[in-house]
Amino acid sequence: MKISVIRGNKIFHTLVQSKPYKNMFQKITLIALIIAFVSCQKKETVEKDKIKIADWLIGNWENTTPDGVLSENWQKLNDSTFSASSYFIKGKDTLHFETIVLAQLGETLTYKATVKGQNNDEPVFFPSTSESEKQLVFENPKHDYPQKITYTKGANNTLTAEISGKLNGRPSSEKFVMTKK
């Protein structure tokens, strides 16, 4: 390859071999691709590993009271997403029905609830604020109610789901203890 350089009113020509530059470019490109591949692999592993902390949710949970039956049925969709249906039935009437998706979005576990007949049937997102092997906490301070959803793993195949926050300007909370079926 011929390169021309102008200095003042004189032109200097020099002959440059392009092969060393081509090899260097190929090496830099290869290194960049390897780094990109490794970083994507690591992110995917973090994503899949983070949701594993919630594996204890998987299964069918139920609470039977004189008021009716509350059920949550959790299943694993893939390595980074769980889904659930939650419903409250009194007699033959379904009084409450919602679908839930628990997924890894970025570095955060996110609880997405869609309640039939509320919020124009649009989902509400609750990012996790705390995760442990026995408890998951999700919060959305901008939501009307609840602002906080907590799942706690109990003894003897029990699970406590708690919703809390301010309702009509006053602190409120409800706990639902369910047993794995």
pLDDT at 44: 47
Distance CA 131, CA 171 (A): 23
Distance CA 29, CA 82 (A): 38
- pTM (predicted TM-score): 0.73
Distances (CA, A) of 49 to 80, 108, 158: 8, 12, 24
Per-residue pLDDT of the chain (181 residues; tens, 9 = 90+): 555 556 665 665 555 455 555 566 565 655 554 555 555 554 444 445 789 999 999 999 999 999 999 999 999 999 999 999 999 999 999 999 999 999 998 789 999 999 999 999 999 999 999 999 999 999 999 999 999 999 999 999 999 999 999 999 999 999 999 999 9
**What are the structure tokens assigned to 29, written together?**
């490109």
